[in-house]
Amino acid sequence: MNAVIDGIVRRHEAYDSNSRVYGFRYGLRALSQVSQKMLDDRILLSTDGKVATSMGTVTHVSQGGSVLGTFRLDRLDSPKNKNQLEHLLNNIEGLDVLYVIGGDGSMKAANFLSMEAKRLGRPISIVGIPKTMDNDILWVWQSFGFATAVEKAREIINSLSTEVQSNPRICVLQLFGSVSGFVVSHAVLSSQSDQCDVALIPEAHFTIKGLADKLLSRFRDDQGKIDESQLPWGMVVMAETAIPDDADTYKNEAGLSGDELAALDTYQAEDSYLDGQTSDELRSASLKLVVHGIRRELTRHFETVGIFTNEPRHILRATNPSFSDIIIGQRLGALAVDNAMAGYASFMVSQWLTEFVLVPLRLVSLGRKRIPEDGIFWKSVWAKTDQGNLLATSDCRDKHSAPDSSAMNP
């Protein structure tokens, strides 16, 4: 994000040395406050042709995180956010361009804010710049930060693989992926052969029994008999909302809290895929389900089953970006300015294959990008882990599929 901010600031300087570029601490949170509090969180990034180096946009351009901080503001169209929307509309008065750097929730907020500003006759160009390590924003080939996250996840898999073999246990590694398994699938696919036994993503149906069968396959002889004298070890890499189809069989024994059970029940009852950020309760519920299910099924065959979990999501978020992510970030920032200055409004700047394109915000808000369960890419992950149809069920449900988005998946 620092590279994007730096790209925006420097490009505006090139157009007009007298322009004033402000950053808002914690993003839309600052703009959704009363005017005085908003001014307290407004930071001057550039004026009179000079970058405000005190904010660190120069010195931090190659570092992770954000010098402005981040905050997620979901569902501006919700009645409960009416006051915040009013503050937002009041606070953007007088701004020529508002750059919103964020994921699908931020892009939806930017689209709704743009429509409301147009309805009220407010002359402002609202520009979206896609930011998500999940890589799940529609019409974005590969969002900045994604390659960095995958590379760090691959390093973690490599380290934990040494641990599970040296001290035989099952590792359940939970990575990003609220509705999409791009980080998990790419990290597993880029890992060394035989390091990962299973990849679990929200798009692909699986059962605990199928998962256990795959883990047990490591310990079967040529006749299919399990050597129960061994100490079981292996690695399962899962996304945040990889929920087994047979969750009801295990959830009451998995030690889930009341809030976790409620989050799981709500997710299972949804007619469409998860909207917005994954709650901590749903994230922990999915992890507990998988861990409990593995332990329950493997203890039928082994006297001792050691399992440990690892959740390095925030390590991935804080990792310094790769050179390619820095370059993409700065180019997106500069191109966002170029097109805003050219008179375009209510768009997201995006890289698609080898080209940079403008996508109307209303199209970005249609859904989220996902991995087709029956697509060639996911089958290549199957081939890497040799998990095949062991995780498939005879009762595949479509309730968590993104409506009308499969044709838009690369």
246-247-253-259 Cα dihedral, nearest 10 degrees:
-170
- Per-residue pLDDT at 320 exceeds 50: yes
- Per-residue pLDDT at 166 exceeds 60: yes
Task: Give yes or no: residues 123 and 52 share one domain.
Answer: yes
- Residue 383: what pLDDT? 92
pLDDT band at 203 (very low <50, low <70, confident <90, very high): very high
Task: Give yes or no: residues 311 and 325 share one domain.
Answer: no
- Residue 327: what pLDDT? 93
- Looking at mean pLDDT, say which of 25-29, 32-36, 171-175 comes out highest: 171-175
The model's pLDDT over 64-110, given as tens digits with 9 standing for 90+, comes to 888 888 887 767 777 878 888 999 999 999 899 999 999 988 999 99
Residues composing the chain: 410
Strands (E), 190-346: 198-200, 234-239, 307-310
Q: Please report the DSSP string for 215-242 in residue order.
A: HHGGGB-TTS-B-TTS---EEEEEETT-
Task: Give yes or no: residues 187 and 78 share one domain.
Answer: no
* 276 vs 183 pLDDT, higher one: 183
- Residue 393: what pLDDT? 42
Comparing 7-11, 301-305, 368-372, 404-408, the range with the smallest average pLDDT is 404-408
- Residue 213: what pLDDT? 92
Number of domains in the chain: 2
- Residue 62: what pLDDT? 80
Task: Give yes or no: residues 195 and 292 share one domain.
Answer: yes
- Per-residue pLDDT at 368 exceeds 80: yes
Task: Give yes or no: residues 20 and 103 share one domain.
Answer: yes
Please give the single-letter amino acid code of residue 46: S
For 278-302, b/e burial (b = at least 16 CB within 10 A) is: bbebbbbbbbbbbbbbbebbbeeeb
- Residue 275: what pLDDT? 64
Task: Give yes or no: residues 293 and 158 share one domain.
Answer: yes
pLDDT band at 253 (very low <50, low <70, confident <90, very high): very high
- Per-residue pLDDT at 286 exceeds 70: yes
pLDDT band at 406 (very low <50, low <70, confident <90, very high): very low
Task: Give yes or no: residues 178 and 247 share one domain.
Answer: yes
| Residue of 104, 134, 136, 245 marked catalytic | 134
The model's pLDDT over 376-401, given as tens digits with 9 standing for 90+, comes to 999 999 999 998 766 544 343 343 34
CATH number at 110 reads: 3.40.50.450
- Report d(CA 181, CA 290) in Å as an integer: 16
- Per-residue pLDDT at 48 exceeds 70: no
Average pLDDT over every residue of 228-254: 93
Phi and psi (nearest 5°) for 97? -135, 140
CATH number at 158 reads: 3.40.50.460
- Report d(CA 312, CA 25) in Å as an integer: 26
Task: Give yes or no: residues 389 and 343 share one domain.
Answer: no
- Residue 82: what pLDDT? 85
- Residue 358: what pLDDT? 97
pLDDT > 90 in the chain, percent? 63
- Residue 317: what pLDDT? 86
Task: Give yes or no: residues 21 and 124 share one domain.
Answer: yes
- Residue 404: what pLDDT? 40
Say how many Å lie between the first and final Cα of the chain, rounded. Answer: 24
Average pLDDT over every residue of 249-270: 92
The model's pLDDT over 104-128, given as tens digits with 9 standing for 90+, comes to 889 999 999 999 999 999 899 999 9
Task: Give yes or no: residues 314 and 246 share one domain.
Answer: yes
pLDDT band at 342 (very low <50, low <70, confident <90, very high): very high
Average pLDDT over every residue of 132-155: 93
| 395 assigned to active site | no
Taking Cα atoms as reference points, which of 119, 181, 112 lies closest to residue 150?
A: 181
- Report d(CA 401, CA 97) in Å as an integer: 35
Task: Give yes or no: residues 180 and 272 share one domain.
Answer: yes
pLDDT band at 188 (very low <50, low <70, confident <90, very high): very high
Comparing 46-60, 78-92, 226-240, 266-280, the range with the smallest average pLDDT is 46-60
- Entry pTM: 0.88
Element (H, E) at 302: none
Task: Give yes or no: residues 108 and 195 share one domain.
Answer: no
Q: Between 82-91 and 104-119, two packed helices, what is the crossing angle to 10 degrees?
A: 70
- Residue 70: what pLDDT? 86
What is the span of the domain harbouring residue 356? 2-144+319-364
- Residue 54: what pLDDT? 46
* 350 vs 35 pLDDT, higher one: 350
